[in-house]
Chains A and B, each alone.
Chain A
Amino acid sequence: MRLTLKIWRQQTRSASGKFVTYSVDNVNSDMSMLECLDVLNEQLIENGDDPVAFEHDCREGICGSCGFMINGIAHGPLPATTVCQLTMRHFRDGQELVLEPWRAKAFPLIKDLVVDRRSFDRIIAAGGYISVSTGSAPDGNAILVPKESADRAMDAAACIGCGACVAACPNASAALFTGAKIAHLGILPQGKPERDIRAIRMVTQMNAEGFGGCTNIGECIGVCPKEIPLEVIAAMNRDYFRGSWRERDNVVTTLRPFTEWSTGSKLKVDPHSGN
């Protein structure tokens, strides 16, 4: 089949960008969206043009690298599917697809369809873990975990950190992502001791990054490739409010939300100089 791809091209973060239209003739219905871009890029390189930059690695829907908007929908029209797993049989011959990067203040653009999602890492660094150093763990069966809790924790833990939820949200909120980690760890007995402070730290960092506030619109769950349920946001809010009270004497610091890449020889930005 034959498709028209209208793709956002932007050389660098500071350059201005625009849509460029390409036509790809030899699209096979079994290929994935990314393989379709591969075919286009081979054509572009052969013609001496600059190939389209897009992020990818596993190509099996698990690493969370890939993602862009297709006709205004994060990861495209198929529910619970990343663009690397989206096969072209879901499109019609002759269709036009508009491909755009995630757009959010906390995800500055790098090139074409590639954005910088380090803000997600900083949210995790703020408290998205259980503080257990190597070697200090009791036997795996010492603390029983009801099957139901393990299953629910796993549902939340399935988040791949792709950022589609942010891209789909009119407020560019990271609540689904952040809530998923808070819920995953909070459900398990191992995660209970740090439940309050974890929520406070992670939410504080999320706010410092320039993500918008959640107003319960729910666009995020419609595009989430791992079908993270909306209840994780409720879990986040509950833990955050309770924690804000219990931990009211605790001063929370955040990491500096830096967006620079240039390091010179050393990392010039001190991530700890936040407030």
Chain B
Amino acid sequence: MQLDARIPSGPIEAAWDKARFNMKLVNPANKRKHSIIVVGSGLAGASAAATLGELGYRVSCFCFQDSPRRAHSIAAQGGINAAKNYQNDGDSIYRLFYDTVKGGDFRSREANVYRLAQISVNIIDQCVAQGVPFAREYGGTLTNRSFGGAQVSRTFYARGQTGQQLLLGAYQALERQVQAGTVTMYPRTEMLDLIVIDDHARGIVTRNLVTGEIDTHLADAVILGTGGYGNVYYLSTNAKGSNVTAIWRAHKKGALFANPCFTQIHPTCIPVSGDYQSKLTLMSESLRNDGRIWVPRKKGDKRAPDEIPEEDRDYYLERRYPSFGNLVPRDVASRNAKYVCDEGRGVGETGLGVYLDFADAIQRLGRKAIEDRYGNLFEMYQRITDEDPYKVPMRIYPAIHYTMGGLWVDYYLMSTIPGLFVVGEANFSDHGANRLGASALMQGLSDGYFIVPYTVGDYLATNKLERVDESHFEIRNAVACVEQTVQKLLSIKGRRTVDSFHRELGKIVWEYCGMSRTAQGLENAIQQIRQLRDEYWQNVNVPGSGEDFNQSLEKAGRVADFFELAELMCIDALERNESCGGHFREEYQTAEGEAQRDDDNYSYVAAWGYRGYGNPPDLVKEPLDFEYVHPAQRSYK
């Protein structure tokens, strides 16, 4: 199989214009005749569904929560990037493009990233017009902050609730279309399979989470905006319901899965406190703008932080990376936290933590300024830990946060199954091996508001689709498969709960396919995952029945998919004999302990094809060319 990313030829600045010009349009009067399914109501899904509804298509939108407004995007705190250059500090589309390609450690597609940077400016305009209450200057203009290692201030934010406000903007646009009758919303409805007929995506199989009914929904195109798969690690900063099921089942139906091992560990989360822990809480990395990260210089120094004098502290990021200091990219910050903890210099009861200290900032700027900037984050920290960060330094530790991998898509955001489009965190597209802060919201909205509404139109205008009805054998097959899986899970009635398996799986993946990886560890992990998966299918206990509201059953299906994904992540990590971005293979590092890429051999997207459980997956490579930003060793020294 050959992958064709369909990147427009010619200069990168004109690529998107050219692509749009060459697209076929659907006659406005005909739009009403086309039905489109959007799975997911996060930033990517809701913006896509709303925009397609505005254009006049018949849209059905699905989410598993009780309301589209609750999608995991709601939790994003820090902000959204855009190359507006409102601060006149030298930003430009080209600079955002450059930073994103470099930040992704040269494992993303230049043309996609350039388009993302171009569209970023429209996103802000759109959101402002919708009433998103972005932070303002006294003069009434929009304000910005610098975020996650950027040397310009291009991040727009709404207090510490940027994701919430952007999502509510998209949700309101979506509800406006519900009212207008163009979008039908199906909350509490989970997609459990993709329907593929004559090699084209034609619908989905769903389970109604209240009544247990298995239904089919048919359409001319299917868009997945189902978010990331960070919960494969069990403990993550993702919402509890975030899962891989929709894209995994599409993968099993033929969509290639790209770079599954590219996962992002976020450096500033609240450390784990006990076995009962159900999720990890992120502290926005904007905190690194003013907080200083340190650990004691000596091993096992158990003094309280305020008793440790300056000369006994090691501000290790400032020491090792004098020009970026505490603002180095996430992967670098996370790995360094792991190193100092591995050396035995970690803080807190478990030794798995480092200090993030605001004492200097409070002294310099005053408590009020810090309160204005981070008040709600400080409060959240105190609520969880019972410690006051205005007085005692915060304790933080890395946690899994984002997944760069996802279904492979071409420039048009279409997967390898014609008619199946993938948007937002669910696709692999724009962040390479590492995502920069405040760029996921940008990507989700760019995909949903400004890209997929065009490219789906082009697909509909250029493909003649036969009518299908529910008696088609592919549809009956898909339904039967889903019913079988549900029945199987319910019938095992073993001795272990779904959560106990999930927790154990998460530990394996975190240990061997987390912050740093080795060939031996990965091989070991694959064995352990297989064993645990076998046990799962014999010994899991899913109480209740399939005919009603059954949260254990929901989880059980998701965890079953996480097992298979986890194995693929390890296979991918094992295959990639280099270190890049969030993928750090201990065997491949520079003398100074930095990630060492191997551009001669690994400058490609690894896209995997499913060949049945137990069979080794197919690897298809999409080579990456860098015409504009020349690969160099990332240096933040």
**Interchain CA distance A121-B75 in the complex, whole Å:** 19
Q: Mark A255-275, 1 if CB is under 8 A from B, else 0.
A: 100000111110100011000
Given contacts A28-B274, A35-B278, A57-B241, contact A87 B165 (CB under 8 A): no
The answer to whether B131 and A185 touch across the interface, beta carbons within 8 angstroms, is yes
The answer to whether A137 and B126 touch across the interface, beta carbons within 8 angstroms, is yes
- Which of A40-48, A94-102, A166-174, A237-245 lies at the interface? A40-48
Is B125's beta carbon under 8 Å from chain A? yes
Is B10's beta carbon under 8 Å from chain A? no
Nearest Cβ on chain A to B140's Cβ, whole angstroms: 3
Is B184's beta carbon under 8 Å from chain A? yes
Q: Which of A53, A60, A61, A150 contacts B136 (CB 8 A)?
A: A150
Q: Which of B21-79 contact A (CB under 8 A)?
A: 47, 50-51, 54, 65-70, 72, 74-75
Q: Which of B84, B122, B131, B386 contacts A153 (CB 8 A)?
A: B131
Is B599's beta carbon under 8 Å from chain A? no
Q: What residues of chain A lie closer than 8 Å to B179, measured between beta carbons?
A: 125-127, 255
Is B450's beta carbon under 8 Å from chain A? yes
The answer to whether B139 and A144 touch across the interface, beta carbons within 8 angstroms, is yes
Number of A-B contacts (CB under 8 A): 240
The answer to whether B281 and A60 touch across the interface, beta carbons within 8 angstroms, is yes
Is A178's beta carbon under 8 Å from chain B? no
**Interchain CA distance A89-B47 in the complex, whole Å:** 40
Q: What residues of chain B lie closer than 8 Å to A125, measured between beta carbons?
A: 175-176, 178-179
Chain A, residue nearest B453 (CB): A134
Chain A, residue nearest B50 (CB): A134
Q: Which of B157-214 contact A (CB under 8 A)?
A: 158-159, 161, 164-165, 168, 171-173, 175-176, 178-179, 181, 184-188, 208, 210-211, 213
Is B543's beta carbon under 8 Å from chain A? yes
- Which of B248-256, B546-554, B609-617 lies at the interface? B546-554
Q: What residues of chain B lie closer than 8 Å to A118, measured between beta carbons?
A: 66-67, 187
The answer to whether B181 and A11 touch across the interface, beta carbons within 8 angstroms, is no
Q: What residues of chain A lie closer than 8 Å to B276, measured between beta carbons?
A: 28, 31, 35, 38-39
Q: What residues of chain A lie closer than 8 Å to B11, measured between beta carbons?
A: none
A-B contact pairs, 15 of them (CB 8 A): A12-B548, A12-B549, A60-B380, A85-B380, A127-B179, A130-B130, A131-B176, A132-B173, A135-B126, A137-B129, A140-B84, A150-B134, A161-B70, A261-B211, A272-B181
The answer to whether A265 and B216 touch across the interface, beta carbons within 8 angstroms, is yes
Is A120's beta carbon under 8 Å from chain B? yes
Is A114's beta carbon under 8 Å from chain B? yes
Q: What residues of chain A lie closer than 8 Å to B171, measured between beta carbons?
A: 124
The answer to whether B66 and A128 touch across the interface, beta carbons within 8 angstroms, is no
Is A222's beta carbon under 8 Å from chain B? no
Q: Which of A136-158 contact B (CB under 8 A)?
A: 136-141, 143-147, 150-151, 153-154, 157-158
**Interchain CA distance A117-B541 in the complex, whole Å:** 30
Q: Mark A13-49, 1 if CB is under 8 A from B, else 0.
A: 0000000000000001011101100110010011011
- Which of A48, A57, A110 is the most central at the interface, judged by chain B CB atoms within 10 Å of its CB? A57
**Interchain CA distance A173-B208 in the complex, whole Å:** 29
Chain A, residue nearest B210 (CB): A261
Other A-B pairs, 18, CB within 8 Å; known A42-B497, A45-B543, A134-B51: A35-B277, A57-B65, A59-B279, A60-B75, A62-B164, A64-B67, A110-B549, A121-B178, A129-B173, A130-B172, A132-B173, A137-B122, A137-B130, A141-B142, A144-B139, A150-B134, A161-B69, A263-B186
Q: What residues of chain A lie closer than 8 Å to B468, measured between beta carbons?
A: none
Q: Which of B438-459 contact A (CB under 8 A)?
A: 449-450, 453
Nearest Cβ on chain B to A34's Cβ, whole angstroms: 7
The answer to whether A57 and B129 touch across the interface, beta carbons within 8 angstroms, is no
Is B239's beta carbon under 8 Å from chain A? yes
Q: Mark A213-239, 1 if CB is under 8 A from B, else 0.
A: 000000000000000000000000000
**Interchain CA distance A58-B167 in the complex, whole Å:** 14
The answer to whether B178 and A271 touch across the interface, beta carbons within 8 angstroms, is yes
Given contacts A121-B175, A126-B179, A263-B215, contact A65 B66 (CB under 8 A): yes
The answer to whether B552 and A65 touch across the interface, beta carbons within 8 angstroms, is no
Q: What residues of chain B lie closer than 8 Å to A42, measured between beta carbons?
A: 497, 499-500
Q: Which of B140, B159, B500 contacts A147 (CB 8 A)?
A: B140
Q: What residues of chain B lie closer than 8 Å to A128, measured between beta carbons?
A: 172, 175
Given contacts A62-B74, A128-B172, A129-B173, contact A51 B50 (CB under 8 A): no
The answer to whether A116 and B66 touch across the interface, beta carbons within 8 angstroms, is yes
The answer to whether B70 and A140 touch across the interface, beta carbons within 8 angstroms, is no
Chain B, residue nearest A81 (CB): B383
Q: What residues of chain B lie closer than 8 Å to A130, measured between beta carbons?
A: 129-131, 172
Q: What residues of chain B lie closer than 8 Å to A157, measured between beta carbons?
A: 133, 158, 165, 168
Q: Which of A111, A147, A188 contacts B549 (CB 8 A)?
A: A111
The answer to whether B70 and A63 touch across the interface, beta carbons within 8 angstroms, is yes
Is B473's beta carbon under 8 Å from chain A? no
- Which of B66, B495, B551 is the most central at the interface, judged by chain A CB atoms within 10 Å of its CB? B66
Is A133's beta carbon under 8 Å from chain B? yes
Is B240's beta carbon under 8 Å from chain A? yes
Nearest Cβ on chain B to A5's Cβ, whole angstroms: 15
Q: Which of B172, B176, B239, B543 contacts A50 (CB 8 A)?
A: B543
Nearest Cβ on chain B to A13's Cβ, whole angstroms: 9
Is B484's beta carbon under 8 Å from chain A? no
Is A56's beta carbon under 8 Å from chain B? yes
The answer to whether A59 and B136 touch across the interface, beta carbons within 8 angstroms, is no
Is B544's beta carbon under 8 Å from chain A? yes
Nearest Cβ on chain A to B161's Cβ, whole angstroms: 7
Is A184's beta carbon under 8 Å from chain B? yes
Chain B, residue nearest A78 (CB): B383
The answer to whether B384 and A53 touch across the interface, beta carbons within 8 angstroms, is no
Is A190's beta carbon under 8 Å from chain B? yes
Nearest Cβ on chain A to B159's Cβ, whole angstroms: 6
**Interchain CA distance A188-B136 in the complex, whole Å:** 12
Chain B, residue nearest A12 (CB): B548
Is B461's beta carbon under 8 Å from chain A? no
Chain B, residue nearest A139 (CB): B125
Chain A, residue nearest B275 (CB): A28
**Interchain CA distance A192-B186 in the complex, whole Å:** 31
Nearest Cβ on chain B to A41's Cβ, whole angstroms: 8
The answer to whether B125 and A138 touch across the interface, beta carbons within 8 angstroms, is yes
Nearest Cβ on chain A to B606's Cβ, whole angstroms: 31
**Interchain CA distance A267-B142 in the complex, whole Å:** 42
The answer to whether B172 and A124 touch across the interface, beta carbons within 8 angstroms, is yes
The answer to whether B124 and A140 touch across the interface, beta carbons within 8 angstroms, is yes
Q: What residues of chain B lie closer than 8 Å to A210, measured between beta carbons?
A: none
Q: What residues of chain A lie closer than 8 Å to B72, measured between beta carbons?
A: 57-58, 63
Q: What residues of chain A lie closer than 8 Å to B188, measured between beta carbons?
A: 261
Chain A, residue nearest B163 (CB): A62
The answer to whether A110 and B129 touch across the interface, beta carbons within 8 angstroms, is no
Q: What residues of chain B lie closer than 8 Å to A31, measured between beta carbons?
A: 274, 276-277
Given contacts A81-B383, A125-B176, A140-B128, contact A45 B136 (CB under 8 A): no
Q: Which of B125, B131, B274 contacts A140 (CB 8 A)?
A: B125
The answer to whether B70 and A141 touch across the interface, beta carbons within 8 angstroms, is no
Q: Which of A11, A59, A124, A188 contacts B133 (CB 8 A)?
A: A188
Is B477's beta carbon under 8 Å from chain A? no
Is A212's beta carbon under 8 Å from chain B? no
**Interchain CA distance A121-B186 in the complex, whole Å:** 12
The answer to whether B129 and A153 touch across the interface, beta carbons within 8 angstroms, is no
Is B628's beta carbon under 8 Å from chain A? no
**Interchain CA distance A110-B211 in the complex, whole Å:** 10
Given contacts A134-B449, A145-B136, A262-B213, contact A63 B75 (CB under 8 A): yes
The answer to whether A190 and B66 touch across the interface, beta carbons within 8 angstroms, is no
Q: Which of A55, A87, A146, A191 contacts B386 (CB 8 A)?
A: A87
Nearest Cβ on chain A to B55's Cβ, whole angstroms: 9
**Interchain CA distance A49-B543 in the complex, whole Å:** 7
Nearest Cβ on chain B to A174's Cβ, whole angstroms: 14
Nearest Cβ on chain A to B614's Cβ, whole angstroms: 29
Chain B, residue nearest A38 (CB): B278
**9 closest A-B pairs (Cβ-Cβ)?**
A144-B140, A129-B172, A137-B129, A125-B175, A261-B210, A137-B125, A154-B133, A153-B133, A150-B136
